[in-house]
Amino acid sequence: MTWNIWGHTLSEMEDWIVKNGFPKFRAKQIQDYLYRRYIFSFDDMKQLPGPMRDWLKENAQLVKPEIMSQIQSTDGDTTKLLLKLADGSLVETVCMHHVYGNSICVSTQVGCAMGCIFCASTRNGLERNLDAGEILAQVYAFRELYDAPIHSIVLMGAGEPLTNYENALRFIRLCNDPGLLNISLRNITLSTCGIVPQIYRLAEEGLPITLAISLHAPNDTIRNRILPSSRNFKIEDVVKAAHHYFKTTGRRVTFEYILIKDVNGSKENAEELCRLVGKMNCHFNLIPINGTEHIQLFPPSWKEVKAFQDILEKNGKSTTVRRQMGDEIQAACGQLKRRYLKNGD
């Protein structure tokens, strides 16, 4: 049986190489070809002896996703890729080009079971989990395209990372591995709908990553409408888990709050939100909704967004209003995939 050599740490590669009778240093050469030089053909790994290259072709495989669609925003700030995996599954990944470096948003599942009303990824439900190597391949698709430094990673694409816990955590550790991306754990953000038991579990991992929680409402009534999966966990328990994460890790939690006109963006909603989190040290990322073709939901006016933000800040809360990037290239979760399946482009 062939071994997939993609998505392994140097020590894992060394163990496999040595077990199969080759010198340990050959593992580092293979890692450099894959993750530094983006050479994916064994024939082109010229530092390896010919017999070893022939052996690798017989006993190893390198499954690389195919780029099916690539679009870039007119301002050049956002690029989105649609990737086809080995089994034919399609996943999206986005690169946001900031002045301080590239930020890559990765998907952790094919489809999603969470049912968020504003997200196109959930329309057909969950198909399967991605393994850590498939998530890592999304990042390297951009590395290969741009050969530019990656500043940060956000697990905020299609899927719920905390219901694909082991693969999501392995991916994070691979990103931090000096032999691969060597990205600081503090520059990695995991976004969750609020899977309460897994938030407590994550707090004990000892990883100083940023936790972002999709709150989106000040009470259960509104939240259950926006995020149907939230019926499994009361909003007070989600906030309590977030507070535990902060106390355990020392890392301030970000609450994602999508603003939808006439749904959750009133001044009364803002006041209730302040009462919900109390004096907790947290940050609010306010996100005017990016509409998709399958919903009729719209963002509040800028005046309403600013009024909402002002109330939070007057109550001592740190806030940002997310800069909208990639609207015209359908950068929100699932939009490009749906267009490709519908139109073939």
Give catalytic residues, as residue numbers.
92, 333
Structure tokens at 4: 């997939």
Alpha carbon distance 93, 139 (integer Å): 8
In 3D, which of 258, 228, 233 has the Cα closest to residue 115?
228
The backbone torsions φ and ψ at residue 127, rounded to the nearest 5 degrees and listed phi first, read: -95, -50
Task: Classify residue 36 by burial, with Cβ atoms within 10 Å: 0-12, 13-18, 19+.
Answer: exposed
Residues 167/132, Cβ–Cβ less than 8 Å: yes
Residue keyed to tokens 């906030």: 239
How many residues are there in the chain? Answer: 345
Question: Is the alpha carbon torsion for 230, 235, 237, 242 positive or negative?
Answer: positive
Residues 220/230, Cβ–Cβ less than 8 Å: yes
Task: Classify residue 341 by burial, with Cβ atoms within 10 Å: 0-12, 13-18, 19+.
Answer: exposed
Instruction: Look up residue 131 and give its DSSP letter.
Output: P
In 3D, which of 63, 48, 50 has the Cα closest to residue 17?
48
Residues 272/215, Cβ–Cβ less than 8 Å: no
Q: Please state, as a whole number, how many other Cβ atoms lie within 10 Å of the Cβ of residue 302.
A: 10
Which residues pair with residue 319 across a beta bridge?
A: 284
Structure tokens at 42: 């064994």
